[in-house]
Chain A
Amino acid sequence: MKPGFRILPHTSEMGLELKAPDWASFYRCAAEGLLAVYGARLEGRGRARLSWSFRGGSPEDVLVAWLNELVFLVGTKRFRLSGLEVLQAAPDGLRVRILGERRRRLPLEREIKAATYHGLKVRALRSGLTARLILDV
C-alpha cells in the first residue's frame, strides 16, 4: 500500500482518508493531510526541534491526540512545520521530533478546531493501515 491521504467532503466539516503501509508512515500521512486542510505542507528549513510523545489507548486515541497536537502547534503557536522524524510508532503510541519554526504570521486557508472521534476506526489490513476521520473546521 502506497502511503497517502485524501481530503473528503463533508457537509459542515472536512474529512481525511489515510492509508499507509506501516504505523510510522500512517502518522506521517495524517500530519500531511492535516497540513493540506490548512493549505500548507512540510516545507522550508526550521531551526526549532520539538519532541512529542503519546502512550496508551487505542490507535484512534493516538491519531486524535497527534492531530490535535499539530492543530495547537500550527493554529495557536503559528509553528511552520518543515519536517517530521518519527522515532517510534505503534498502535498504542507515538514518539516524534517536529522540525520547523514559529512565525509571526502564518497564512492558513482555514481554521481547524480539532480532529474528532466521529466514526473513526483505524483498520489494520494485510496490505497496511487505513482510516477516515472528521476534522471540525
Chain B
Amino acid sequence: MSRFRRIDDYRWELPRAGAMRVPGLVYATERMLPKFEAEKVAEQVANVAALPGIVRYSLAMPDAHWGYGMPVGGVAATSAEDGVISPGAVGYDISCGVRLLRSDLKAAEVKAVLPKLMDTLFKTVPSGVGSEGPFRLSQPELRKVFAQGARWAVAKGYGERADLEAVEDGGALAEADPERPSPRAVERGQNQLGTLGSGNHFLELQEVVEVYEPGTAAVFGLFPGQLTVLIHTGSRGCGYQICDDFLRSMQSAARKYNISLPDRQLCCAPFASPEGRAYLGAMGAAANFARANRQAITHLTRQAFLRAVGRDLGLRVVYDVAHNLCQVEEHEVAGRMRRLCVHRKGATRAFPAGRPELPEAYRAVGQPVLVPGSMGTASYVLVGTETAMQETWGTTAHGAGRMMSRHQALKQIQGQALFNQLKRLGIEVRTDSFRGLAEEAPFAYKDVSEVVAACHGAGISRKVARMRPIGVVKG
C-alpha cells in the first residue's frame, strides 16, 4: 500500500511518522509514483524530514531518485536561527550545475561543419576520467578562485564582463571562505579547472526546436532554430574533498550537539555553530570553483568555435545555475520573512519575477531554469514561478533523473552501438569511453518531457523552450 497521500494530480504527501519532524511532499504524476515507492525515495524523504530545524516539508521534485542521504531531487529548508546545515544534503559534487550559451546562428547553419566543430570541441575542452585542464594553478591562485569564482576567470581574460551578469550571485558566492578548503582539496582542484569530468557531465550543442512562451524566450535571447550550447559540470575533485572533509567533522559535531539522525550521511551541525559556519565557507569556495570551471569551459568553447567555424558566433551566457547547493535565502513562512538554509541536491532554484537575486535583465519575467535531458532526447528552458516560491522555496527539477543502474544500461547496449544509433538520429558524439557512453544511455533516464510536464502542471516552473541535441561531448 502506498505511503503517499494524494493532494492533487501532482502533489503527494508523505505523512509524518517516526523521527520525521515535518511531512514529506513529493511532486510527481501518478504514473511516476510507483518508482518513488519501489526505490528508496520515500525512505530518504522521511530521513531528511528528521533534520533539526527543517521547515514545513521535506520535498522531492519530479525527477527525484534514489541517492545517498538525501534523494537526488530533494530539497530541505532549515532555519538559519535554530536549524542545521548538512553537507550530505548538498552532496559531493558541490555546485554541480548547468550553463546555457546562446549563439546568433541557426543550428542549420553549422550543419556542414558540425563534425569538425565537434572534433575541435572534444580536443579543446578536456573531458573524461582524470582529465586535466589547461589552467594549472598555484595554491594562492586557487584560493583566489575559491574567493572570486567566475569573476576570477573573467578578470584573467577567460570571458566577458557581461557573462557574469547571467551567473547566479554575479559569479561568486559571498559566503565563500577561501581558506577553509583543506590542502588536499586544493591539491585535487589545482589541475582541474576547465574540465568537464566524467559520468553524466557533458557539453552539448543543441537546436531550439520549440518555443512555448515567445515573450519570455525573447527576454532570454532564445528563438526557434537557434544554436545553443549546454555545459553540465561542477566543482570536480576539490568539491568532493570538501564534502568528504566536512562529513568527517560533522560526524563528531552531530555527537557534540546531540543530533541523532536515521542516516549518518545526513550528519549536520547547527547552522550558527563554528562547524556549520566552517562548512558554509568551504562549500561556498567549492561553489565558486564550479562557477569558475563553467566560465573557463565557456572560454574554451568560444575558442573552439572560432577555430572550427572561423568567426565569433556571438556566444552569450543565458544563465548559469547550480543544482547541488545550500543557499541562505529569505522566504515567507507563516506570514513572516525568515532566513533559511535551502539545501538543494539535484534540484534547481526557480525564482519568479521580482526577486532581487535575479539579473536585472530577467527580473521582469523570472529566472531561467535549465533542465538537461539525456543525450538522445531533449533539454528544456523553464522559468521560475510564484507557486514555486510559495511551495518549494523557489525550486524545481534539475534534469531527467536516472531510472536504471549503470550495470543494467551496460547490459542493454554497447557503447559503439549507441554511438551509431545517436549518429543516425543526427547527433554527433565525441567521447573517450564507449563504456561510459553506454552507462549514460538515454533509456537509463526518465523521460525528461514527463518530468518537465509535471513541473509545469504543478506550476513550480513553466515551459519556455525545448532544445534537441545535435552534438555531445561526453565526459
Which residues in A have some Cβ–Cβ distance to B below 8 Å?
7, 9-14, 57, 60-61, 65, 68, 71-72, 75-76, 78, 106, 108-111, 113-114, 116-120, 134, 136-137
Contact = CB atoms under 8 A, between A and B. Distances in A.
B244 A114 contact: yes
Given A9-B407, A14-B407, A118-B68, 19 more contacts: A11-B39, A11-B65, A11-B66, A11-B403, A11-B404, A12-B65, A12-B66, A57-B251, A65-B248, A68-B244, A72-B184, A75-B237, A109-B129, A110-B199, A111-B129, A116-B68, A117-B263, A119-B68, A137-B406
A136 B68 contact: yes
Interface of B: 39, 65-69, 72, 88, 91-93, 129-130, 184, 187-188, 197-199, 237, 240-241, 243-244, 247-248, 251, 263-265, 267, 402-408, 433, 435-436, 439
A7 to B, nearest CB: 7
Contacts of A120: 264
B188 A134 contact: no
A134 B248 CA distance: 16
Contacts of A7: 407
B63 to A, nearest CB: 11
B402 A12 contact: yes
B130 A134 contact: no
A117 B265 contact: yes
Contacts of A12: 65-67, 72, 402
Contacts of B267: 117
Name which of B198, B243, B244, B404 has the most chain A CB atoms within 10 A of its CB.
B244
Contacts of A134: 68
A55 to B, nearest CB: 13
Nearest to A116: B68
Contacts of A119: 68, 263, 265
5 contacts: A7-B407, A13-B67, A111-B130, A113-B240, A119-B68
Contacts of B408: 9
Contacts of A65: 248
Give chain A's interface secondary structure class.
Answer: loop
Contacts of B67: 12-13, 118
Given A75-B130, A111-B130, A118 B402 contact: no
B197 A111 contact: yes
Given A11-B402, A136-B92, A109 B435 contact: yes
Nearest to A105: B130
Nearest to A135: B68
A76 B66 contact: no
A14 B88 CA distance: 17
Nearest to A134: B68
The 3 A-B pairs at the shortest CB distance, nearest first, are namely A118-B68, A9-B405, A117-B264
Contacts of A111: 129-130, 197-199
Nearest to B43: A119
A113 B234 CA distance: 12
A120 to B, nearest CB: 7
A137 B251 contact: no
Name which of B88, B129, B263, B436 has the most chain A CB atoms within 10 A of its CB.
B129
Name which of B65, B91, B267, B405 has the most chain A CB atoms within 10 A of its CB.
B405
Nearest to A14: B406
A71 B199 CA distance: 16
B251 A110 contact: no
Name which of A12, A78, A110, A119 has the most chain B CB atoms within 10 A of its CB.
A12
Given A110-B436, A117-B247, A136 B91 contact: yes
A118 B263 contact: yes
Contacts of A68: 244
Contacts of A109: 129, 433, 435-436
Name which of A60, A72, A120, A136 has the most chain B CB atoms within 10 A of its CB.
A136
A111 B201 CA distance: 11
B130 A78 contact: yes
Contacts of B264: 60, 117-118, 120
Nearest to A120: B264
